[in-house]
Amino acid sequence: MTKKRLVIANWKMYVHTPLEAKKFAQSLRRKTRAFAGVEAALAPSFALLPVVAAALKGSSVRVGAQTLSGHEEGAHTGDVSAAMVKAAGGTFSIIGHSERRLTEDNEYVHKQLVLAATNGLAPVLCVGECERSQDGAHFSFIAEQIRSALTGSQSLAGKLVVAYEPVWAIGKSAVDAMKPEVVRETVIFIRKTLAEVLPREQAMRIPILYGGSVEPENAKELFIEGGVSGFLVGHASAQVDSFVGILQACKK
Ligand code: PGA
């Protein structure tokens, strides 16, 4: 079985205008042969999602959202529902990113996951500790994030992707990223926890990505030694060449 390889660009608010987004998408589309065998996905802001989806229509690059509402519809000013993301051309949504978890708790993340899955969007569930502790408390923290997100919605986990993002390693530079051997150890722990909540077969198939200061400089080492299926990339995904560099690092 060939392992799925996937790199998701989390543009956050780094890409600003429809023109900038369209140019990036068109350029990436022209370069897909350079990273054949690795699936690329872009998560623009809601405002840019339709233009990116249109520019990538018919290509292998997937488009999705950075978050979605935990409500199905109704009086939720500023929210965007899973159905709206789908209608705008999205096929996945990042859920539970640490920058969202500042105001969204585990219970809300669970609701978002259910709504993503019932609306046909692949949930990209982010988990990760704020800090590492000597006594291993970060492991129980991560396990709780996984259990609370998935318990009761196991049947919806078919398209699930998990992104391990240690909060302390986000938004820095390659030298500050987590060391590959520690990534590997945590990925094994995440897989084990998934297998406690989901049927083992299914848990073994879920792609586990790493995110946190991934740049072209450290991507190859993290990919090979970290035991991951790919990456969730923030700042280094906002320039097409650096994003393609990371995609290429995941090639065979
Ligand atoms: P970073 O962000 O690559 O800028 O560290 C990753 C993320 O927050 O998804």
Q: Rounded to 10 degrees, what is the CA torsion of 41, 57, 70, 152? A: -70
Nearest to 8 by CA among 242, 231, 239, 183: 231
Per-residue pLDDT of 171-190, as tens digits, reads 999 998 899 999 999 999 99
Beta bridge partners of 95: 125
Q: Any alpha helices (H) in 119-166, and if so which ranges?
A: 137-150
Nearest to 92 by CA among 57, 120, 59: 120
Q: How far, in Å, from the CA of 232 to the mean position of ligand 1?
A: 7
Residues 210, 236: Cα–Cα separation, whole Å? 14
Beta bridge partners of 208: 162
Placement of tokens 């083992």 in the chain: 200
* Whether pLDDT at 1 is above 60: no
Residues 124, 141: Cα–Cα separation, whole Å? 18
Per-residue pLDDT of 37-71, as tens digits, reads 999 999 999 999 999 999 999 999 999 999 999 99
Mean of all residue pLDDT scores within the chain:
95
The residue type at 193: T
β-strands 161-164, 62-65 pairing: unpaired
Q: Which domains does the chain have, with CATH numbers?
A: 6-249 (3.20.20.70)
Give the atom of ligand 1 at the shortest distance from the alpha carbon of 163: 9
Query: CA 7, 11, 13: angle at the middle one, nearest 5?
Result: 170
Q: How far, in Å, from the CA of 212 to the mean position of ligand 1?
A: 5
pLDDT of 94 reads: 98
Per-residue pLDDT of 186-225, as tens digits, reads 999 999 999 999 999 999 999 999 999 999 999 999 999 9
Q: Name residues contacting ligand 1 (CB within 6 A).
A: 10, 165, 170-171, 211-214, 232-236
Give the atom of ligand 1 at the shortest distance from the alpha carbon of 214: 3
Tokens of 8: 């998701």
β-strands 6-10, 230-233 pairing: parallel
